[in-house]
Amino acid sequence: MTLTVLLVVIAGLLALADWWAVAGSRRRLELFAKPATMAVLVGAAAVAGDAPGDVRTWLVVGAGCGLIGDVALLGNGENSFMAGLAAFAIGHLAYVVSALLVGFDPYLALPGAAFMLALLGFRFMSRTVPGARRHGGAVLAGAVVFYATVIAAMVVTSWATAAWAAALGGTLFAVSDWVLGYQRFVAPVPGRNLPVIVPYHVGQALLILGLATA
């Protein structure tokens, strides 16, 4: 078993533990399993595939920011949320750079752009952004819009690499963030936080492995 496969298996087991913790409100387990999953995926980003050094550097930065964001979002306050938002925004930008270094085919980017237009057109501008404004004023609403722009860039560039795993991973990551925003600023969604955490973990893993092996 290669080191990459071993790390992916460990990350998968930790992710399953985290999903179980989220489903059953097992907070102590979640506090361990959520950041531990991403920490192992950072390791996978460092060793998977044979990506050039510059691609791998930005990939590790992106995964590392995901770990920082996970830790921040384990807090409950507004400062924790903003810190997590900032970390994930930087992480998405790092993934964008990594994807652009892999390659950019504008025709392949079109499905990703169409998906993001549909996703952001469905209750995001009409409900999530106004909800963020009510919750934290113009500053928070602006931060949410900026974050949406950054994740849209990540999805489009991941599709443009021709790496199907990266494209699917970026898409799932965007779905996770859409649900998170809706749940925080509009209304709860069924399934506790599972609709957020499941596509998040699967999306991160596919995005990392897809870009590392493209």
Q: Which amino acid is residue 160, in one-letter code?
A: A
pLDDT at 11: 98
Domain positions in the chain are 3-213
pTM passes above 0.75: yes
Token pair recorded at residue 171: 């898409």
| Local confidence band at 102 (pLDDT 50, 70, 90 cut-offs) | very high
**How large a percentage of the chain has pLDDT more than 90?**
90
Token pair recorded at residue 66: 């995901």
Which of 208, 182, 214, 213 lies closest to 195, judged by CA? 182
Q: Is 189 left (phi over 0), alpha (psi -120 to 50) or beta?
A: beta
Question: pLDDT tens for residues 40-64?
Answer: 999 999 999 999 999 999 999 999 9
Q: Does residue 1 have a pLDDT over 60?
A: no
Q: What span, in angstroms and rounded, lies between the C-alpha atoms of 113 and 209?
A: 22
Q: Are 137 and 187 in contact (CB under 8 A)?
A: no
Cβ-Cβ contacts under 8 Å for 125 (sequence gap 6 or more): none
